[in-house]
Amino acid sequence: MKNDLTGTSIIGRSRGAVTADAFRAFDPTTGNAVEPAFYSATLDELDRAAALAEAARIPYGVIPGRERAIFLRRIADNIEALGDELIERATLETSLPNARFVGERGRTCMQLRMFADLLDEGSWVDARIDHAIPDREPLPKPDVRSMLRPVGPVAVFCASNFPLAYSVAGGDTASALAAGCPVIVNAHIAHPGTAELVGNAVADAAMECGMPEGVFSLLFSSGYDIGQALVKHPSIKAVGFTGSRRGGRALMDIAAARPEPIPVYTEMSSVNPTFILPNAVRERGDAIVEGLLASVTGGVGQFCTKPGLVFLPTGSPGDGFAEKFDRMIEDTAPAPLLTGGISDAYKAASSKRKNEVKGFTFNTQSDLEGFAVNPSTFEVPAVDYLNTPELNEEIFGPTTLLVRSDRHDELLAIARSLEGQLTASVHGTEEDLRSYADLIAILETKVGRLIFNGFSTGVEVCPSMVHGGPYPATSDGRSTAVGSRAMTRFARLVCFQNFPDPSLPDELKEANPLGIDRMIDGKMSRI
Amino acid sequence: MKNDLTGTSIIGRSRGAVTADAFRAFDPTTGNAVEPAFYSATLDELDRAAALAEAARIPYGVIPGRERAIFLRRIADNIEALGDELIERATLETSLPNARFVGERGRTCMQLRMFADLLDEGSWVDARIDHAIPDREPLPKPDVRSMLRPVGPVAVFCASNFPLAYSVAGGDTASALAAGCPVIVNAHIAHPGTAELVGNAVADAAMECGMPEGVFSLLFSSGYDIGQALVKHPSIKAVGFTGSRRGGRALMDIAAARPEPIPVYTEMSSVNPTFILPNAVRERGDAIVEGLLASVTGGVGQFCTKPGLVFLPTGSPGDGFAEKFDRMIEDTAPAPLLTGGISDAYKAASSKRKNEVKGFTFNTQSDLEGFAVNPSTFEVPAVDYLNTPELNEEIFGPTTLLVRSDRHDELLAIARSLEGQLTASVHGTEEDLRSYADLIAILETKVGRLIFNGFSTGVEVCPSMVHGGPYPATSDGRSTAVGSRAMTRFARLVCFQNFPDPSLPDELKEANPLGIDRMIDGKMSRI
């Protein structure tokens, strides 16, 4: 092996200690622990990482965007240079297929390079200039200029379900580093080896590009104490997290209770309601049922955008759809979930749901090894759904709930009752979309993304993407965790009044040396 | 009188009850109550206002921007039509001069019209379009489009110190209504008559422009219960507040503890550190001392941007500056503060500060009537300042603290010790600005606005203004309460994937019927 895993945290340019608090990853297929041991960071190591991040805050924050871009691209290069070793370790720690990680690595490196491109282009800072009018009456108008600047050191929590794209060098880290913020990552307990490999790639890139020490640290921990202490630490100025509703809310509460509350971007819980309207079942039922199965079982149902709630018409075409879907679920092989905890939670929630609904279908294979679970589907009439708030709870894993209704007013009532969601999808004709405009208007107040004739899984990384939504989908429904706008989560506005040109950041200098889009005296301009 | 004050709340298109909980405004000059009585809203009235706002949420949110612009302009027209009656009532309730309110009314109406102009222009929504690539490998790229949409009903708390520009139809209300959000205003106890007059102007404008009932309500209350219940109400989706640190933090904590936490924009506390460097004292000491006096005593020291902390060199030119400033403070007549509570707090905090510092100067006029207080100034060596954290506390009123230092390293240590601030100002030469670049870099991490050779009071309303800053200056240092960006506080991103053109909002239709700036496939465009 090229990279021997040490199991120790990365504290700036040095390594953490081999501590007494050791833990190991598990192979979800067998449920057995795999080597080597990883060692929880101490609170003292956390303090050192935070002090280094604090010291790096100003030097890293003033490095020109085009130099930060070089750093981000180097991270991507270093991740690719890990080659098969990274793919194999990620597969070992998650039991997700190799091909998934080839794709996820591609997305991870693409995100890093996308933010690098944004830094090269430079207009993301929302630069605005209002020129002075010294002879304005009754008072002179000052020269006022402003732009986005980094918010300060950011704590990033790795996601269980995206060991690459939303972990050590994933979307949160990439957007925070791009915005000019040092990052301290809290590794996920389920894939520490993957975390160390990627952590080395980032730390090496920081050295190779001459970035200040403390721009990046990676902390291992077997429990919640390090993560919670990180969010409480006065040097930390923002948090990125993807995980459970309980975990995300706990971090939100800790951050809100700080002497200095800080912004927290948690992505937590979404059942991604999917409305299949009568014309869609009639005209494209077979295509939709196959798309639905792929969306529900892809990644063993462990995507945050998995459709967990599907509204299907009552009556015969809907019945045929439901029967076909039931058979397909029965025919889907069991597969291991990411951790023993997730597997146990899936089994417990599925058992509970059996008692809450009228119909259910499980793949009944009984010899489940490791963290494997059986895919399942549940069915309930709309009236029962409306009377059972528990049915809105997300079950993480390969399962969904079919709610049977074709009454327009019932769909509206259901839409009104929904909590905040990442997405909602509507399958129908263009005519349906017009006649259900009232449904769309309600859904718009509940979600970050509305999808027509498509499924919610598969999140395009592009400037217009919104991967967010009102609580509990996320902690901050104004923001997106995917796409180029994600960078602004880790920035804040700073204004310079009557500053002489040489003392202004390049983005605000009169001559526009970076050639970026700016708002000048109220009008967009590239001059 | 054209407008008889009724003292009752405005609940959509009807009025609240004459309740047992009556209160009156005070004339700060005499300390006597003034007629008429105002009646606290009941929790039932709050529920009705919230239900109306909830019902108005979708209908008001989908009204085209150009129609909302007409509504905002009508509000401004109606406020102007109140004529002298409004100016006189505001003067009676605050003892601030008539001319101040002529100016503040101008600013209030200008803000409403500025947001109307932004709605007419339309580009504020940050529309982005990424076109589909159906034949992309390995997966087709979907059509993705997104823009800012209203966040939902907003609670606005009137500010004691801006009865017009940050109260019933002030910056928060104007930006929330502009963004498409219904607003429920909690009137300030100090100027309920001003609130009712402006509330009538808004309610009339809503009727005249055919806006849905519930787009605006105004609640009176003698205590905190209505305001707190408002922030807890599930229909409320964001909060705007200007006031004390204690009050703002209380609302932040309530909002964070809701089952569904919501964004809160509180503007609370800032001492607006002002650094007068040695060359500035030598070259322009007389001009600076007069500017400082005006900035400290303007509005009787009740501006959020009042310089409450002034760093002045030790040694003779600084001594001369301090002596002159002391004499000018002594010569400044006492003046009434806005409320008995603010007056008492000023007196208590000033007495406490006397014991914390080495030097102090008060105007010693002793026959203070009503809520009047004596202007004051305090002085302390930098070392003592650094050892006395209480000296960072804002005292609302006509007072400031001179901290004596001319050691570069001491200024850096002081800058590092500062809490979050709305502003910081530096007086010096352009050469100073370069040699104190390290000071500026630290200050940049602490404030929303940096000012060179100017004073922090006087906030220009323009696209580039940032009136915000890290906690405790505000609850959300990413945002600004002044200027055109204030509107985005009450909006959130919504994304439409694969929607047919006729079902998209006009801002996202392919042909760009509104002619707005949009980001198309990653590039800014007006086509």
Nearest Cα of chain B lies from the Cα of A315 at a distance, in angstroms, of 28
Residue of B nearest to A523 (CA): B463
**What pLDDT score was predicted for residue A204?**
98
Residue B504 sits at the chain A interface (C-beta within 8 Å) = no
For chain B, positions 117-176, list CB contacts with chain A under 8 A: 123, 128-130, 138-139, 141-142, 144-146, 149, 151-152
Q: How far apart are CA B346 and CA B362, in angstroms?
A: 13
Q: Which amino acid is at B56?
A: A
Inter-chain residue contact B460 with A130, CB threshold 8 Å: yes
The shortest CB-CB distance from B471 to any of A261, A468, A476 is to: A261
Q: What is the CATH number of the domain that holds B329?
A: 3.40.309.10
CB–CB contact B463 A128 (8 Å): yes
**A463: nearest CA in chain B?**
B522
Per-residue pLDDT of chain B (527 residues; tens, 9 = 90+): 456 899 999 999 999 999 999 999 999 999 999 999 999 999 999 999 999 999 999 999 999 999 999 999 999 999 999 999 999 999 999 999 999 999 999 999 999 999 999 999 999 999 999 999 999 988 999 999 999 999 999 999 999 999 999 999 999 999 999 999 999 999 999 999 999 999 999 999 999 999 999 999 999 999 999 999 999 999 999 999 999 999 999 999 999 999 999 999 999 989 999 999 999 999 999 999 999 999 999 999 999 999 999 999 999 999 999 999 999 999 999 999 999 999 999 999 999 999 999 888 887 777 899 999 999 999 999 999 999 999 999 999 999 999 999 899 999 999 999 999 999 999 999 999 999 999 999 999 999 999 999 999 999 999 999 999 999 999 999 999 999 999 999 999 999 999 999 999 999 999 999 999 999 999 988 76
pLDDT of residue A16: 98
Q: Under an 8 A CB cutoff, do A146 and B460 touch?
A: no
Asked if residue A244 lies in contact with residue A279, where contact means CB atoms within 8 angstroms, the answer is no
Nearest CA in chain A to B423: A495
Query: B24, B28, B22: which is closest to B339 by C-alpha?
Result: B28
- Look at residue A1 in the predicted model and tell me its pLDDT: 45
On whether any CB of chain A is under 8 Å from the CB of B519, the answer is yes
Q: Count other C-beta atoms under 10 Å from residue B284's C-beta.
A: 16
In this predicted structure, which of A54-58, A141-145, A387-391, B253-257 has the lowest mean pLDDT? A387-391
Do A192 and A315 fall within a single domain? no
| Residue among B433, B472, B479 whose CB faces A503 most closely | B433
Determine the Cα–Cα distance for residues B10 and A517; give it in Å rounded to an integer: 45
Residue B310 near residue B401, CB atoms below 8 Å: yes
From the list A144, A449, A476, the residue facing B495 with the nearest CB is: A449
DSSP B412-442: HHHHHH---EEEEEEES-HHHHHHTHHHHHH
pLDDT at B527: 61
Within this chain, do residues A96 and A226 fall inside the same structural domain, yes or no? yes
Three-class DSSP category at A422? strand
Q: Is residue A33, in this structure, part of any structural domain at all?
A: no
Interface of B with A in 405-434 (CB under 8 A): 419-420, 430, 433-434
A502 inside domain: no
The verdict on B470 touching A (C-beta cutoff 8 Å) is: yes
Query: Which residue from B minimizes the CA distance to A466?
Result: B495
Query: Both tokens of residue A73?
Result: 């691209």
Q: Is B522 helix (H, G, I), strand (E, B) or coil?
A: coil
C-beta atoms of B497 and A437 within 8 A:
no
Residue (of A464, A459, A462) closest to A423 by Cα position: A459
Looking at the structure, tell me whether residues A102 and A68 fall in a common domain. Answer: yes
Enumerate residues 44 to 83 of chain A having a beta carbon within 8 A of any beta carbon in chain B: 57-58, 61-62
- Where residue A62 sits, what CATH number does that domain have? 3.40.605.10
Cβ neighbours of B440 in A, within 8 Å? 503
CA–CA dist B174, B180 (Å, integer): 10
Three-state DSSP class for residue A257: helix
Measured CA to CA, the distance from residue B448 to residue B471 in angstroms comes to: 11
Torsion over CA: A102, A108, A109, A111 (sign): positive
Q: Please check whether residue B42 lies inside any domain of the structure.
A: yes
> Minimal Cα–Cα distance from B177 to chain A, Å?
16
pLDDT computed for residue B3 by the predictor: 64
Identify all chain B residues contacting A431, using CB atoms and an 8 Å cutoff: none
Is A278 found in the same domain as A257?
Answer: no
**Residue A450 with chain B: CB contacts under 8 Å:** 494-497, 499
Mean pLDDT (whole number) for A291-301: 97
Measured between beta carbons, which residues in chain A are less than 8 angstroms from residue B261?
A: 252, 256, 471, 475
Between chains, do B466 and A58 touch, taking CB under 8 Å as contact?
no
Domain of residue A214 covers: 10-21+45-268+480-488
Structural domain includes residue A392 = yes
pLDDT tens-digit series, residues A83-99: 999 999 999 999 999 99
Is the pLDDT at A2 greater than 70? The verdict is no
Residue B366 pLDDT: 76
Say whether residue B340 is in contact with chain A using an 8 A CB cutoff.
Answer: no
Q: Give yes or no for a cis peptide into B138 (omega within 30° of 0).
A: yes
If pLDDT is split at 50, 70 and 90, which confidence band does A527 have? low
Residue partners of A198: CB distance under 8 A and separation at least 6? A79, A82, A86, A164, A167, A168, A169
A261, A454, A466: residue with CB nearest B142: A454
Record the tokens describing residue A197, joined without a space.
């490999």
CB contact under 8 A, A463 and B522: yes
Residue B461 burial (C-beta neighbours within 10 Å; 0-12, 13-18, 19+): middle
- Interatomic CA distance for residues A105 and A96, integer angstroms: 13
Preferred mutation among A237, A497, A517, A518 to probe B, highest tally of B CBs within 10 A: A497
The reply to whether B376 and B442 lie within a common domain is: yes
**3-class SS at A361?**
strand
Whether residue B468 and residue A524 make contact (CB cut-off 8 A), yes or no, is no
Residues β-bridged to residue B312: B404
| Residue A57 with chain B: CB contacts under 8 Å | 445
Q: Say if residue A378 is in the same domain as residue A393.
A: yes
The reply to whether residue A58 touches residue B450, judged by beta carbons under 8 angstroms, is: no
Tell me if A499 and B433 make a contact (CB, 8 A cut-off): yes
Task: Establish if B472 touches chain A: CB-CB under 8 angstroms.
Answer: yes
Which residues lie across from A39 on neighbouring strands? A22
pLDDT-above-90 percentage for chain A: 95
Banded pLDDT at A433 (limits 50, 70, 90): very high
Which amino acid makes up residue B440? I
Assess whether B484 and B437 both reside in one domain.
no
Residue B498 lies in a domain: no
Q: Are B66 and B212 contained in the same domain? A: yes
pLDDT in the model for residue A388: 94
The tokens of A193 are what? 């080896």
* B144/B142 Cα distance (integer angstroms): 6
Output the pTM of the full model: 0.97
pLDDT-above-70 percentage for chain A: 99
Same domain? For B65 and B208 the reply is: yes
Residues of A with active-site annotation:
267, 304
Planar angle of CA B412, B415, B418, nearest 5 degrees: 150
Do B434 and A139 make contact, defined as CB atoms within 8 angstroms? no
Residues 81-120 of B with CB under 8 A from A: 103
| Domain tally, chain B | 2
Q: How far is B120 from chain A (nearest CA, A)?
A: 13
SS3 A502: helix
The side-by-side arrangement of strands in the sheet containing B154-157 is B14-15, B10-11, B216-219, B183-186, B154-157, B238-242, B264-267
Searching chain B, which residue's CA lies closest to the CA of residue A472? B260
Same structural domain for residues B21 and B51?
Answer: yes
Could you tell me whether strands B518-520 and B274-276 are parallel, antiparallel, or unpaired per DSSP bridges?
unpaired
- Active site residue ranges of B: 267, 304
Q: CA B449, CA A498: separation in Å to the nearest integer?
A: 11
Are both B418 and B284 inside the same structural domain? Answer: yes
Q: Do A478 and B263 touch (CB under 8 A)?
A: yes
CA distance B333 to chain A (A): 25
Bridge-based pairing of strands A491-497 and A144-150 is antiparallel
Query: Helix H segments across A39-138?
Result: 43-61, 65-81, 84-94, 98-121
B438/B385 same-domain check: yes
- A185/A362: higher pLDDT: A185
Please indicate whether, in this complex, the C-beta atoms of A463 and B253 are within 8 angstroms of each other. Answer: no
**A381-428 pLDDT, tens digit each:** 999 999 999 999 999 999 999 999 989 999 999 999 999 999 999 999
Q: Is residue A406 part of a domain?
A: yes
In angstroms, the CA A342 to CA B87 distance is: 64
Inter-chain touch A452–B130, beta carbons under 8 Å = no
Nearest to A497 among B61, B449, B502 (CB): B449
Does the residue B4 lie in any domain? no
Could you say which of B103, B252, B500 has the minimum Cβ distance to residue A433?
B500
Tens digit of pLDDT for each residue in A216-230? 999 999 999 999 999
Contact across the interface for A450 and B497, Cβ inside 8 Å: yes
| Interface touch A462/B130, C-beta < 8 Å | yes
Interface test with chain B among A465, A495, A507, by most B beta carbons within 10 Å: A495
Whole-angstrom distance, CA of residue A107 vs CA of residue A460: 10
Q: Give the nearest chain A residue to B118 (CA atoms).
A: A522
Q: Tell me what percent of chain B is helix, strand and coil, each rounded to the nearest 5.
A: 40, 20, 40
Helices (H), A332-429: 340-354, 382-386, 408-417
CB contact under 8 A, B454 and A497: yes
